[in-house]
Amino acid sequence: QVQLVESGGGLVQAGGSLRLSCAASGRTFSTYAMGWFRQAPGKEREFVAAISRSGSDTNYADFVKGRLTISRDNAKNTVYLQMNNLKPEDTAVYYCAAAPLGVASGNRNYYHHWGQGTQVTVSS
């Protein structure tokens, strides 16, 4: 079992940056692939980015277009999402999630553990 706690969300102007963090409990963090998902009001939760358990492979949604970078530090049991050049359409609650996989999957169904989410609001 792994518990996840996100932080780093907030209000930022368009073009600005934020760095989200997700701290995981337990000793098995390095056995999980990690992902970030987001959910805007009235929309389905969608995949943003994922990273393999070793950190060697990453996977991004098409809309990321080089603006977001996922990384992890297994020694600190933490996964990060660096978000640059933010746009108003990036406004959403961002969730981190853990999947008992080695690969960086974008399939939400593989992710068994979820954090509570952190709000990101981008003003125009």
Distances (CA, A) of 118 to 8, 11, 28, 40, 59: 7, 11, 23, 12, 21
Of 93, 91, 49, 52, the C-alpha closest to 67 is 49
- Please tell me the predicted confidence (pLDDT) of residue 46: 97
Distances (CA, A) of 91 to 26, 63, 75, 85: 30, 13, 30, 13
Mean pLDDT by 10 residues, the chain (124 residues): 95 98 92 97 97 96 93 97 97 97 93 97 97
- Please tell me the predicted confidence (pLDDT) of residue 65: 80
Contact 59, 110 (CB under 8 A): no
- Please tell me the predicted confidence (pLDDT) of residue 102: 87
Contacts 24+ apart (CB under 8 A), 10-13: 10/119, 10/120, 10/121, 11/121, 11/122, 11/123, 12/86, 12/120, 12/121, 12/122, 12/123, 13/122, 13/123
- Please tell me the predicted confidence (pLDDT) of residue 73: 97
